Amino acid sequence: MAMKPSTSVTAVAFFLFQLLILAAFNISFCNGSSYMGCIESEREALLGFKQDLYDPSNRLASWSADDRDCCTWAGIVCDNRTGHILELNLRNPFNYYIQTQHEANVRSVLVGNINPSLFHFEHLSYLDLSYNEFREVQIPRFLGSMVNLRYLNLSGSRLVGMVPQQLGNLSNLQYLDLSWNYLYVDNVWWLSGLSFLEHLDLSYVNLSKASDSLLAISRLPSLEKLRLSNCQLHHIPPLPIANFSSLTKLCLSQNQFDNSFPSWVFGLNHLVFLDLSYNNIQGPIPDGLQNLTSLTYLVLALNHFNSSIPNWLYRFNHLEYLCLCNNSLQGTISDAVGNLTSISWLDLSFNSLEGRIPSSMSRLCNLRSIILFNNKLNQQISEIFDIFSRCVSDGLEILSLANNSISGHLTENLGQFKNLDTLELSWNSISGSVPLSLGELSSLRLIDLDYNKLKGSLSQIHFANLTKLNYTGNAIQSSPLLIGSALSPLYTVVLSEEVSLMMKGKLDDYKNNLNLVRTVDLSDNMLSGEIPTEMTALRALQTLNLSHNSFTGRIPENIGVMRSLESLDLSANRFSGEIPESIVSLTFLNHLNLSNNTLTGKIPSSTQLQSFDASCFTGNDLCGRPLPKNCIEDNSSPEDKDGEGQGGEVDWFYVSMALGFVVGFWSIIGPLLVNRRWRHEYYHFLGRLGKKVASVCKKCS
């Protein structure tokens, strides 16, 4: 029997109404109207976790006992439906190993222990405690029971000891980073249980006792990214080519292999990132690498490759980053280098490459850094500027050609590199004057033109727009110029507030941007006079090198206010007087050289100063640790240094007084001790004397 039209319409309307209600419910749920708030037991566990931490920057200020909803606390992500904590992210925002260590790093770090209260977060899927300081703390075994974890990052947290095999129970783990700690393993087969693992970083974990570590790791079917840098893997075993079939990123740097290039790498067809630097690999660059045509990042630096650059390498048109530095590569740079159209970073420094920079490099429009220093290139600098003109000059940020055989004159074409950050042309044979177009490089932060044949003078126009400049070498110091009058404009850029420096007999005043300085290197000049006390206003300075000059006078007494100093070199000058006590306040100091001056007195006592080698203080008249010469302190009283007390002479007044006391005492007491009858007579005498004294006192009263 057919349904009546009216009934059919009603049924459809009712169905649509139900869908509308369900949709409205879902929308309200997604918008948080069904928000549960955190679980009380997990809130208490977070407070317990906080109790074991020292938090100098107050990063956990929101973790308050007065706030009932822990889901709103810093670093916490909850499940909106159940209220359970899913993510705990307490990563230190300052990374010690990537960024320059600074006081802010120390303030932001969390210090303490990993409290067992973490065990209560059974629903946790994301845990990041990286780059904090859990000093001399082992990885807790209970982490292996948090089976819902998909992301675990404990890198750079100063953890020690053996990696617990219980981590092999984290069968859902996709990301594991234990790098930059003080850890070791003696067996890695527990990793085979992590079948979903995609990212594994064990850099700086000692794997020397786990000789089959790579074989075990190669069994992970989902692994895409593997970092095993500095793991003491001195021997790389042969592996089946089929293994690591999903690998796209491989870093095996700093392992110092005792054999040749691991041939199984040639079969990793999906690899886009390969770093085998600092591994003592010898011979030619292996031809098997030409199979890895998907590479975008290739680093073979700090090995002993002694061939020419193979032509097949120039066919890697996906390559963006290529570093072959610190090898023994020979021959020339082929004109085929122009085929690397994706390249942005090219580093061929510290090799023995000869010839010229090919003109085909003008096609590398994505090039940002070209680093070729310490080779044997022989070319005119003006020709090089022409090659890097047009599209290359628009984006070039680093141009480093130091220590080659480059000659010729700097031309006004220098001004076309508007985005240049670093310009290094030192130790060449460049001649002529510095073009005024240097002043157009407003992005420039570092310029080094040392040890060339430049001449002429520098004016304010050269540096007027270089407001970002924070390092200059001993620019043009070997030229017959007038860093005093020729170098002084550099300081109108580099320094801020006001400083006076005696340079080659002339006192010059400098202003502008003093607080921005990070490095001052005036070594190997003929600078004289005293260090102005105003220089200590460079509170952000990290490196100060005034060595091999003729500075005189005392080291500034308030040098300790330059608390950011990491390197201080005042050697080979004529500084006199004592080392100021305030130097002990330079707690970031990791390099110090005060040798070969005329300093005197005791080396101030601090753990920092006494940790330096004795050679840092030799060539002076100093004493105290770390020097073998002990300081003899005069503990004698002032009276010992005046009058008759000096020179070992006898003071007869005190001698006669002592002698008189001894003679008088024994003249009276001696007979009484020896003669019994005298003792009785003496007692009777004292008795009669006492009665007379009492009688007199009674009459007087």
Write the pLDDT tens digit of every residue in 262-298: 788 888 989 999 999 998 888 999 999 999 999 999 9
* Cα–Cα distance, 144 to 159 (Å, whole number): 16
Burial class (CB in 10 A: 0-12, 13-18, 19+), 113: middle
Q: Which residues contact 647 (CB under 8 A, 6 or more apart)?
A: none
pLDDT in tens, 665-674: 666 666 666 6
Give the CA distances from residue 448 to residues 125, 381, 402, 483, in Å, rounded to whole numbers and listed in that order.
50, 15, 9, 11
* Cα–Cα distance, 371 to 445 (Å, whole number): 16
Whether cis (ω within 30° of 0) applies to the bond prior to 240 is no
**Closest listed residue to residue 33, CA positions, set 24, 41, 20:** 24
* Cα–Cα distance, 193 to 220 (Å, whole number): 8
Is 641 a residue whose pLDDT tops 80? no
pLDDT at position 496, please?
30
Where does residue 414 fall: left (phi above 0), alpha (psi -120 to 50 degrees), or beta otherwise? Answer: alpha
Query: CA torsion angle for 404, 405, 406, 409 (degrees, to 10)?
Result: 130
* Cα–Cα distance, 262 to 245 (Å, whole number): 16
Is 101 a residue whose pLDDT tops 60? no
Burial class (CB in 10 A: 0-12, 13-18, 19+), 692: exposed
Where does residue 408 fall: left (phi above 0), alpha (psi -120 to 50 degrees), or beta otherwise? Answer: left
Give the CA distances from residue 629 to residues 165, 294, 450, 554, in Å, rounded to whole numbers and listed in that order.
52, 63, 40, 22
* Cα–Cα distance, 429 to 614 (Å, whole number): 39
First to last CA, the chain: 149
290 touches 312 (CB < 8 A): yes
Q: Which residues contact 425 (CB under 8 A, 6 or more apart)?
A: 381, 401, 402, 406, 448, 449, 452
* pTM for the whole structure: 0.65
pLDDT in tens, 417-472: 999 999 999 999 999 999 999 999 999 999 898 889 888 777 778 877 888 887 66
Least reliable range by pLDDT among 37-41, 263-267, 635-639, 690-694: 635-639
For residue 658, what pLDDT band results from cuts at 50, 70 and 90? low
* Cα–Cα distance, 531 to 537 (Å, whole number): 12
More confident residue, 683 or 56: 56
* Cα–Cα distance, 91 to 96 (Å, whole number): 12
For residue 332, what pLDDT band results from cuts at 50, 70 and 90? very high
* Cα–Cα distance, 35 to 295 (Å, whole number): 47
With both helix axes pointing from N to C terminus, report the angle between 652-674 and 676-700 in degrees, rounded to the nearest 10.
Answer: 100
User: If you write DSSP's letter for every residue of 140-200 in order, what string do you get?
Assistant: PGGGGG-TT-SEEE-TTS-BEEEPPGGGGG-TT--EEE--SSEEE-S--GGGGG-TT--EE
**Token pair for 581:** 């006590």
**Token pair for 44:** 């208490």
Q: Which residues contact 367 (CB under 8 A, 6 or more apart)?
A: 343, 344, 346, 361, 388, 392, 395, 396
* Region 17-32 average pLDDT: 45
**Token pair for 208:** 């020397």
pLDDT in tens, 488-536: 323 362 333 334 333 333 334 444 444 445 778 777 766 778 887 777 7
* Cα–Cα distance, 146 to 171 (Å, whole number): 10
Amino acid identity for residue 613 in this structure: D
Phi, psi of 533 (to 5 degrees): -60, -25
Residue 453: which H helix or E strand, with range? Answer: strand 453-454
Beta strand pairing call for 543-545 and 519-521: parallel
Least reliable range by pLDDT among 37-41, 278-282, 432-436, 481-485: 481-485
**Coil, strand, or helix at residue 6?**
helix
* Region 599-606 average pLDDT: 90
For residue 611, what pLDDT band results from cuts at 50, 70 and 90? confident
* Region 92-103 average pLDDT: 53
412 touches 432 (CB < 8 A): no
283 touches 306 (CB < 8 A): yes
46 touches 72 (CB < 8 A): no
**Token pair for 277:** 């630097």
* Cα–Cα distance, 214 to 504 (Å, whole number): 62
* Region 144-149 average pLDDT: 95
Cβ count within 10 A of residue 126:
17
How many percent of the chain have pLDDT more than 90? 48
Query: CA torsion angle for 262, 268, 269, 275 (degrees, to 10)?
Result: -70
Amino acid identity for residue 292 in this structure: L
Q: Which residues contact 300 (CB under 8 A, 6 or more apart)?
A: 276, 277, 281, 285, 323, 324, 327
For residue 590, what pLDDT band results from cuts at 50, 70 and 90? confident
* Cα–Cα distance, 275 to 491 (Å, whole number): 41
